[in-house]
Amino acid sequence: MPQIAAQIKPLVRAVHPRLPRGSGDPSQMQPAALGKLRQNSEPAMTASAPTRITLPRPDDWHVHLRDGAMLQAVLPETARDFGRAIIMPNLVPPVVTTADAVAYRDRILAALPQGADFAPLMTLYLTETTDPDDLAAGFASGLIQAVKLYPAGATTNSASGVRDFDKVRPVLERMAEIGLTLCVHGEVTDSDIDIFDREAVFIDRVLDPIRKATPGLRVTMEHVTTKNAVDYVRANDDDLAASITTHHLMINRNHLLVGGIKPHYYCLPVAKREEHRLALVEAATSGDKRFFLGTDSAPHTDPNKLSECGCAGVFSATNTMACLAHVFEAEGALDKLAGFASENGPAHYKLPVNQATITLEKQTDPAPFPAQIQTGEGPVTLFNPGYPLMWRVV
């Protein structure tokens, strides 16, 4: 690793160019929708700000790799910058048994580019008929790293999820006993609860009762989107942690809805008010070990996004590290990026930090990201924060 002093160069540019080259098409976005974000996210420029940082190879603690032709296309995007990733089990049909997870892991390994430094961390989809013995055996073998709780109907392919939480109590008790982490999609699905309130209501009605009834259960609140969730994590012990996505650090609900709907910003949980985004940024950049990266990178083809009933999901595997460097630089917190992206997640999952490293460098021209990647199922549009990304992994 180079000397720290050698990584610090004087900043040659105080103002970003307004438009990225080849990084999506911000001309299609309404300035009214993006103006406030730009203002809020201009990096804090100081003469001594680093323009090169080296971190342990990061991990993604929540990613959707899909299957088949889509898996082939998106896996290299994740494997390029990340050493490991928690692989979501919401295939059709879902990954519910250890045998399902073995087969899915083998398909992922077969799709990995030659020489890739990447290990998939497998999860099981919790159903009302999950067998505690099967899950314990999968965990003991080292294959299963977490179990995923989707309230039925909460998001893409969650129809098999849990309706009656009493039915999964024996499974949760077994998990607490053996130290297997529960990952939760923290939204209620009751039709009378407003979509913007579903995370906060889930904490009160579901998560807090589950945790109180199952002492010692390790829980990851995934892709938190609200100040309520950040406060709840902070008020509890180390058995509870939260992942935060790249895009929820960069967009609020205005970016989704003002000046024309932006389907590529639509995801679940849906982006919330700016005060919530600010709480997420504060948590991510605070150095608190209970917050770490889970991109929730979730590819859908453009025809499935740009439709009368568009799918929920943001695809950010390709440019997440550039986005995060931008966010952390804007907060004057580049020194906290390694904790968020590389160290806090392994600590929560009781795994070692990756030994390999990656280096991010700030360029004088915007980093060249494609607007889309091509897959065997159709084009998938890459997350575009609406302003230039100057950082890139070198």
Q: Which is nearer to Zn ion, 89 or 388 (CB)?
A: 89
- Among the listed ranges 49-57, 123-131, 158-166, 290-298, the one in contact with Zn ion (CB under 5 A) is 290-298
Count Cβ atoms below 10 Å from residue 303 Cβ, excluding itself. Answer: 12
Q: How far apart are CA 15 and CA 364, in angstroms?
A: 10
- Cβ–Cβ < 8 Å for 322, 83: no
CB of 172 to Zn ion, least distance (A): 20
Residues contacting residue 130 through CB under 8 Å, at least 6 positions apart: 96, 124, 147, 168, 171
How many residues bind Zn ion, per CB under 5 A? Answer: 1
Shortest distance (Å) from residue 189 CB to Zn ion: 15
Minimum distance from residue 365 beta carbon to Zn ion (Å): 33
How many whole angstroms from its chain centre is CA 286?
18
**Do the beta carbons of residue 292 and residue 357 sit within 8 Å?**
no
Does 134 bind Zn ion (CB under 5 A)? Our answer is no
Long-range residue pairs from 3-9, CB within 8 A, at least 24 positions apart, any chain: 7/50, 7/51, 7/52, 7/53, 7/54, 8/48, 8/50, 8/51, 8/52, 9/50, 9/51, 9/52
**296 belongs to the binding site for Zn ion (CB under 5 A):** yes
Can residue 187 be called a binding residue for Zn ion (CB under 5 A)? no
Contact of 9 with 364, CB cutoff 8 Å:
no
DSSP structure class, residue 376: T
Minimum CB–partner distance for residue 17 and Zn ion (Å): 33
Residue 202 CB, nearest distance to Zn ion (Å)? Answer: 15
Shortest Å distance, C-beta 106 to Zn ion: 22
To 10 degrees, the CA torsion angle through 320, 326, 327, 332? 140
For residue 296, indicate whether it is catalytic. Answer: yes
- Per CB under 5 A, the segment of 1-9, 66-74, 288-296, 343-351 that binds Zn ion is 288-296
Give alpha helix (H) positions in the chain. Answer: 4-7, 31-41, 68-81, 98-111, 132-140, 169-178, 198-202, 208-213, 227-234, 253-257, 274-284, 302-305, 320-330, 337-338, 344-349
296 vs 343, beta carbon nearer Zn ion? 296
CB of 64 to Zn ion, least distance (A): 6
387 vs 21: CA distance, rounded Å? 10
Which residues 6+ apart lie within 8 Å of 307 measured at CB? none
**CA-to-CA dists, residue 354 to 11, 58, 238, 299, angstroms:** 30, 7, 21, 26
Cis, peptide link before residue 2, omega less than 30° from 0: no
Residue of 84, 55, 65 whose CA lies nearest to 346: 84
Residue window 321-360: x/- pattern of binding to Zn ion, with contact defined by CB under 5 A? ----------------------------------------
* Annotated catalytic residue, options 81, 134, 239, 296: 296
- For Zn ion, the closer CB: 295 or 384: 295
Nearer to Zn ion, 269 or 346 (CB): 269
**Strands, sheet with 391-393, edge to edge from the N-terminal-most edge strand:** 52-56, 357-362, 391-393
Catalytic positions are 296
> Using CB under 5 A as the criterion, which residues of the chain lie in contact with Zn ion when the complex forms?
296
